[in-house]
């Protein structure tokens, strides 16, 4: 007679990011649209020149950059109407030393760093995914062996492996807010920095913590 043993295996990985996505805002305020627009256009021209210089000095430092459309708003301040124009830029870096050097040289009252999102490249994510999946399944088997031994049994086969919640037919019942990423293992990663305009943003890379969870059914006798 066989006995079902159902367990949840988990694993964790911590490693430094190899990508950083910067969010930069170029903005200006004035008493009329034209003045605000001229100020932003001048700041954008200088910023684009600095990006071109970065590409020449460090060709591999930045993977890509994207510039959004200019947006305009107006508001009243003590009875005086003010106009504001802003442009959002996004840049992804692979060389953090070159990134820091460029940020400190290029930001000012008009050009502000709003946030940095530390990431793993797709290649590294795939490696983490594979290693965590193997470790989570190994952990599940260890748990099953412990249960079986305590009951005087021995695990003889693996009956099923699944993402959290799938063994009971509910794909949304995984614990701890795990994000499902396909491939049979639920992955969850944490690492990001952001700040308000008046705050200082730390450009020191933050380790990225990734966890994986797998549910498993084993047979023991």
Please say if the pLDDT value at position 190 is more than 90. no
Most confident of 150-154, 192-196, 198-202: 150-154
SS3 string of the chain?
CCEEEEEEEEEEEEECCCEEEEEEEEEEEECCHHHHHHHHHHHHHHHHHHHHHHHHHCCCCEEEEEECCCEEEEEEECCEEEEEEEEEEEEEECCHHHHHHHHHHHCCCCEEEEEEEEECCHHHHHHHHHHHHHHHHHHHHHHHHHHHHHCCCCEEEEEEEECCCHHHCCCCCCCCCCEECCCCCEEEEECCEECCCCCCCCCCCCCEEEEEEEEEEEEEC
**Within this chain, do residues 29 and 43 fall inside the same structural domain, yes or no?**
yes
- 177 and 201 in a single domain? The answer is yes
In contact, 198 and 1? CB cutoff 8 Å: no
Same domain? For 114 and 166 the reply is no
pLDDT grade, residue 182 (50/70/90)?
very low
> What are the pLDDT digits (tens) for 7-24?
999 999 999 999 999 999
Both 114 and 24 in one domain: the answer is yes
* Token couple for 87: 């442009």
Other CB atoms within 10 A of residue 71 CB: 11
Task: Check residue 201 and give its pLDDT.
Answer: 65
pLDDT surpassing 70 at residue 65: yes
CATH, residue 88:
3.30.70.2970
* Mean pLDDT of all residues belonging to the chain: 86
Looking at 119, 142, 175, the residue that finishes a domain is: 119
Residues 72 and 129 in one domain: no
Strand duo 155-162 + 179-180: pairing? unpaired
pLDDT at 155: 97
**Given CA atoms 18, 20, 57, 67 in this order, what sign does their dihedral have?**
positive
Question: Are 149 and 199 within one domain?
Answer: yes
Cα(149)–Cα(141) distance, rounded to whole angstroms? 12
Find the domain containing 148 and state its range: 3-16+122-220
User: Domain check: are 98 and 28 in the same one?
Assistant: yes
- Same domain? For 113 and 134 the reply is no
Give the pLDDT band (50/70/90) at residue 166.
confident
Together in a domain, 134 and 50: no
Domain count of the chain?
2
Task: State whether 114 and 43 are in the same domain.
Answer: yes
| Judgement on whether residues 105 and 55 belong to the same structural domain of the protein | yes
Residue 79 and residue 12 share a domain? no
Give the model's pLDDT for residue 94: 97
Instruction: Give pLDDT, residue 120.
Output: 92
Exposed (0-12), middle (13-18) or buried (19+): which is 179, by Cβ within 10 Å?
exposed
The whole-number average pLDDT for the span 44-57 is 97
Categorize the per-residue pLDDT at 200 as very low, low, confident or very high, splitting at 50, 70 and 90: low
pTM: 0.77
Q: Which of 81, 98, 119 is the last residue of a domain?
A: 119
Instruction: Flag whether pLDDT at 216 surpasses 90.
Output: yes
Band of residue 170 on the pLDDT scale cut at 50, 70, 90: low
The residue among 119, 141, 162 that closes a domain is: 119
Residue found by looking up tokens 């088997």 in the block: 141
């Amino acid at each position: 007679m066989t006995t079902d043993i159902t367990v949840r295996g988990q694993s964790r990985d911590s490693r430094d990011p190899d990508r950083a996505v910067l969010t930069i805002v170029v903005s200006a305020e004035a008493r009329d649209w034209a003045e605000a627009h001229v100020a932003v256009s001048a700041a954008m021209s200088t910023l684009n020149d600095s990006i071109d210089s970065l590409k020449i000095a460090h060709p591999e430092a930045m993977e890509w950059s994207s510039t959004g459309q200019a947006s305009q708003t107006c508001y009243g301040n003590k009875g005086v109407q003010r106009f504001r124009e802003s442009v959002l830029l996004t840049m992804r870096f692979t060389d953090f030393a070159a990134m820091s050097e460029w940020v400190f040289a290029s930001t000012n009252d008009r050009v502000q760093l709003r946030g940095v999102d530390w990431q793993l490249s797709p290649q590294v994510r795939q490696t983490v995914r594979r290693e965590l999946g193997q470790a989570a399944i190994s952990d599940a088997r260890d748990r099953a062996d412990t249960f079986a031994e305590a009951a005087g049994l021995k695990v003889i086969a693996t009956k099923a492996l699944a993402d959290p919640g799938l063994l009971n037919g509910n794909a949304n019942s995984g614990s701890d807010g795990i994000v499902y990423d396909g491939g049979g293992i639920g992955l969850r990663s944490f690492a990001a920095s952001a700040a308000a305009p008046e705050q200082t943003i730390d450009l020191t890379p933050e380790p990225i913590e990734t966890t994986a969870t797998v549910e498993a059914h084993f047979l023991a006798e």
